[in-house]
A and B are shown apart, each in its own frame.
Chain A
Amino acid sequence: MSVPMDFSPLWISLITAITATFITFFLGLGAAHFMYTYHGRMKVWIDGILILPMVLPPTVIGFVLLVLLGKNGPVGQLLWKLGITIIFSWPAAVIASTIVAFPMMYKTSLAALEQIDKDILDAARTLGSSEWRIFWKIAVPLSWPGIVAGTILSFARAIGEFGATLMIAGNIPGKTQTIPMAIYFAVEGGEIKRGLIWVAMIIAIALMAVLGLRVWSKNRLSVFYCMGDK
């Protein structure tokens, strides 16, 4: 290898994915809670829009974000006036990852919430609990395995994000160049060996996340599942 290895894509990937997962955890859980309690006519439509980032090609997400956040876009212009440029910066990478990871968190935790016995929540209501307390004390603990699974899936999706990130964050080494980006440009530049190192690294991270989930679920979930009586 002629050029010494630059490890910045690893740190950028990890920090971007962790930040995006952190944001999407609350956004997804909040959306799941809202949809769990909402029974209006728009339910099907709202649900469709919320899972759209999962079914659309990432380039479409990137395109839409570019239009919104670009210098001529409505949000972009507002930020421009405040002296902030989002496009081709690290926050843009976080935004792209957050949006593509969001449906994983939302769908998985909504499915987990819907598994809860409704009588348990009703019992809490008759015992004088506010909806807020019921959500954090009853609903979240009881759907915890699903919420954790959703978080790990979100992380996996966020760390693998490529298309939308490339479009709005670009490939700036040391700033927005993540591992998937490094792989693509290494291969494009004919540096197969370098590409191979990054591929091995991302496989290792993905495996750790999945195996971590398994080990965790063995220790925690088994206790959890036998608690659910009915």
Chain B
Amino acid sequence: MKLEVDIEKSFPDFKLKVAFSVGKDTMGILGSSGAGKSMTLRCIAGLERPSCGYIALNDRVLFDSQKNINVPSRNRKISLLFQHYALFPHMTVRENVEFGLQGLPENEKKARVSEKLSMVELTGFEYRYPHQLSGGQKQRVALARALAGNPDALLLDEPFSALDSYLRNNMEKQLIKSLSEYHGVSIVVTHNLEEAYSICHNLVILDRGKKITEGYKENVFQYPPTLAAAQLTGCKNLSKAKKAGENAIEAIEWGCILKTRQAMPEGLSYVGIRSHHLDFLKDNSRENTFLCHVIKTKEMQHITTVYIEIDKNCLSRQLLQVELLKEKWDRIKDSSSPLFIHLDPEKLFLTCE
């Protein structure tokens, strides 16, 4: 099982250039809107023709601009799950799921439909029409329909963006289960970090049509190589930085000198740390620990975000955001001793522009 993609697509004001390969583990494409995520999927599915490049699935060449190969969508055996489900509104659930099964004998069709509907827990809904279903049910029908023909690859375009958060959670669980039972290549496109992290194994990050990083999700989140990658992976604490010694950097916007463990990258320009990796301490006996002042706090259901500053005199001051459990913050804020912030050198990452 292997999907290889190396394509370019040019528009008057936008250029998409991506290359990656996907194996048996689910791949996530993460990027802000307009980064070219959906376009990438549409090219793989054969709904758009890339300007040039190469697409191959399990050694079957689907697109090759040099050899002038462009297999039409209907022969690619690639299913695409659309953001707004794209169910056929004039057909019943059963007819929808059956649509991609032409050529199979009637009894086999029937068996396949009931198998897929039971997979998405919609047995008994065969004769409903899409307008009689809820959003989550529609999405599940769409998933059953996409998987009914046993495609070689399954592409999911923002699968949960039209669902509310409760349904999203349920659907996520169901999708993870379905994907684990599915033996083809799968790609999920999303702009939602948690979604990408919980569903996918590997990640590709796209920014303005270009791939900026790819790899195992933990590594991508731990060491985003560029500022854009750091922002797209949800890092809220980023400061301009410059070298200040052998294993030290100056975080210009936080106003402190920090020890680091990571090798100094070529063209270092930013340092970052995730808000849940910051820790409050009672003294500064450990390295990278600084006296800090609380500027404001923001309370969520279970998490409190504390905005702090380290050096009041820092010119281009940027507040650090610390996220911690509400109970923990309640304990800390009641003690009268001065507060110190610890920036774990293991958790700091250095990136380029």
Contact = CB atoms under 8 A, between A and B. Distances in A.
B131 A226 contact: yes
A128 B102 contact: yes
A230 B135 CA distance: 10
B223 interface: no
B86 A122 contact: yes
A27 B72 CA distance: 27
A141 to B, nearest CB: 5
Contacts of A117: 84, 86
Contact of A125 (B74, B130, B131): B74
Interface string B38-78: 00001001110000000000000000000000001111111
B89 interface: yes
B82 A123 contact: yes
A229 interface: yes
Which of A123, A226, A229 has the most CB atoms of chain B within a 10 A radius of its CB? Answer: A123
A228 interface: yes
A127 B141 CA distance: 14
A182 B140 CA distance: 62
Nearest to A142: B90
Which bracket fits the contact residues of A?
20 to 34
A127 B47 contact: no
Given A126-B45, A126-B73, A120 B131 contact: no
Interface residues of B, number: 31
B149 interface: yes
Interface in A91-121: 117, 119-120
Interface string B288-303: 0000000000000000
Interface in A123-137: 123-130, 133, 137
Given A119-B82, A124-B99, A127-B145, A227 B129 contact: yes
B153 to A, nearest CB: 10
A226 B90 CA distance: 10
A117 B84 CA distance: 10
13 contacts: A119-B83, A119-B86, A122-B45, A122-B73, A123-B82, A125-B46, A125-B73, A126-B45, A126-B46, A126-B74, A126-B146, A128-B75, A224-B90
Q: Considering the complex of A and B, which 4 residue pairs feature the smallest CB-CB distances, nearest first?
A: A127-B100, A119-B86, A123-B86, A125-B73
Given A128-B74, A230-B84, 14 more contacts: A117-B86, A119-B83, A120-B87, A122-B42, A123-B145, A124-B99, A125-B46, A125-B47, A126-B47, A126-B74, A127-B149, A128-B77, A141-B90, A229-B89
Interface of B: 42, 45-47, 72-80, 82-84, 86-90, 99-100, 102, 129-131, 138, 145-146, 149
Interface of A: 117, 119-120, 122-130, 133, 137-138, 141-142, 224, 226-230
